[in-house]
Chain A
Amino acid sequence: MDREVLRRLCLLNQLSLTDTQKDDVISFFADRDADTAALDAIDTEHVERMVHVMPILTVVREDVVSQPFSREDLQAGAPETDEGYWCVPRVLE
Chain B
Amino acid sequence: MNKIVIDDMFLTVGTPTTAGSKMLEGYNSLFEAEVLTRLNAAGYTITGKAKVGEFGVDLLGETSYFGADYEKDTLQYPAAVQVKSGEAEAAVVLDVNGAPRRGAAQNNLVALKPTYGMVSRYGTIPVACSGETVSVVAANAADCREVFAAMAGHDAKDGTSLPESMVDAGKAAVTKKNKVAVLSSMLKGTSEEVQAQIAAVSENLAKNGVEVVTVDAETIAYAGAAWNILMSAELCNNVSRYDGVKYGYRTKTYTNIDELYTNSRTEAFGELLKSAILFGSETLSTENYQKVYDKALRVRRVISEAMKALLADCDALLMPAASVTAYSKAMVEADKYLPYKENFYTAPASITGLPVVVAGGVQLVGNAFSEDVLLDLAELV
- Chains A and B are bound partners: yes
CA separation between A10 and B261, bound complex, in Å? Answer: 12
A11 to chain B, nearest CB (A): 9
Whether A53 and B353, one on each chain, are in contact in the complex, defined by CB atoms closer than 8 angstroms, is yes
Contacting residues of chain B (203-261) with chain A, CB-CB under 8 angstroms: 219, 222, 224-226, 228-229, 236, 240, 243-245, 250, 254, 256-258, 260-261
Partner of A51, one of B115, B130, B254: B130
Contacts of A41 in B (CB 8 A): 222
CA of A6 to CA of B228 in the docked complex: distance in angstroms? 19
Q: Given the known A-B contacts A14-B262, A29-B279, are A49 and B294 also in contact in the complex, defined by CB atoms under 8 Å?
A: yes
CB of B367, distance to nearest CB on chain A (Å): 13
- Report the minimal beta-carbon distance from B119 to chain A, rounded to whole angstroms: 12
Does B281 touch A at the CB level, under 8 Å? yes
Per-residue interface assignment for chain B, residues 335 to 370, with 1 indicating a CB less than 8 Å from any chain A CB and 0 otherwise: 011001000000000011100000000000000100
Size bracket, chain A contacts: 35 or more
Does B301 lie within 8 Å of A24, measured CB to CB? Answer: no
The residue in chain B whose Cβ has the minimal distance to the Cβ of A92 is: B257
User: Which of A5, A13, A40, A69 touches B277 (beta carbons < 8 Å)?
Assistant: A13
| Contact between B340 and A32, CB atoms less than 8 A apart | yes
Q: Within the complex, what minimum Cβ distance (angstroms) separates B27 from chain A? A: 7
Contact with A along B273-297 (1 / 0, CB 8 A): 0110111011000000001101111
A55 and B254 alpha carbons, distance in the complex (Å)? 45
Give the CA-CA distance A6 to B275 in the complex, in Å.
Answer: 11
Q: State whether the Cβ of B379 lies closer than 8 Å to any Cβ in chain A.
A: no
Segment touching A, from B4-12, B65-73, B155-163: B155-163
Given A53-B130, A69-B30, A73-B30: A15 in contact with B219 (beta carbons within 8 A): no
A64 at the interface (CB under 8 A from B): no
| Cβ distance A73 to chain B, nearest Cβ, rounded Å | 6
Q: Are A39 and B226 in contact (CB under 8 A)?
A: yes
Determine whether the beta carbon of B352 is less than 8 Å from that of A10: no
Count how many chain B residues have C-beta atoms less than 8 Å from C-beta atoms of the other chain: 66
CB neighbours of A89 from chain B (8 A): 244-245, 250, 254, 257, 260
- Is residue A65 contacting chain B, with contact meaning CB distance below 8 A? no
B276 CB to nearest chain A CB (Å) = 9
Residue pair A88, B245 in contact (C-beta under 8 Å): yes
CB of B166 within 8 Å of the partner chain:
yes
A93 within 8 A of B: yes
Chain A residues in 8 Å Cβ range of B297: 49-51
**Contact present for A56 and B274 (CB under 8 Å):** no
Q: Which of A24, A35, A44, A88 contacts B224 (CB 8 A)?
A: A35
B95-103, B137-145, B177-185, B264-272: which lies at the interface: B264-272
Measured in the bound complex, the distance between the Cα atoms of B258 and A21 in whole Å is 21
Contact A14 B295 (CB under 8 A): no
Question: Of residues A5, A16, A68, which shows the largest number of chain B Cβ atoms within 10 Å of its Cβ?
Answer: A16
- A16 and B262 CA atoms in complex are apart in Å by 7
Digitize B83-97: 1 where CB-to-A-CB distance is under 8 Å, 0 elsewhere. Answer: 000000000000000
Contact check, B222 vs A39: say whether CB atoms are below 8 A apart.
yes
Interfacial chain A residues near B269, Cβ < 8 Å: 15
Contacts of A73 in B (CB 8 A): 30
A74 CA to B279 CA, complexed, in Å: 34
Q: Which of A39, A40, A47, A90 contacts B301 (CB 8 A)?
A: A47
B56 contacts A by Cβ under 8 Å: no
CA distance A31 to B351 in the complex (A): 20
**A residues in contact with B162, CB < 8 Å:** 54
Contact in complex: A35, B263 (CB < 8 Å): no
A34 to B72, CA, bound (A): 35
Bound-state Cα–Cα, A59 to B277, Å: 30
Report which A residues bind B (CB closer than 8 A). Answer: 1, 5-6, 9-10, 12-17, 21, 24-25, 28-29, 31-32, 35-36, 38-42, 44, 47-57, 59, 61, 68-69, 73-74, 76-77, 79, 88-91, 93
> What are 26 A-B pairs at a CB distance below 8 A?
A6-B278, A12-B281, A16-B262, A28-B279, A32-B228, A32-B229, A36-B225, A36-B295, A38-B225, A39-B225, A39-B226, A39-B296, A42-B219, A44-B295, A44-B299, A48-B298, A49-B294, A49-B300, A50-B300, A52-B160, A53-B351, A56-B160, A57-B163, A68-B30, A79-B250, A89-B245
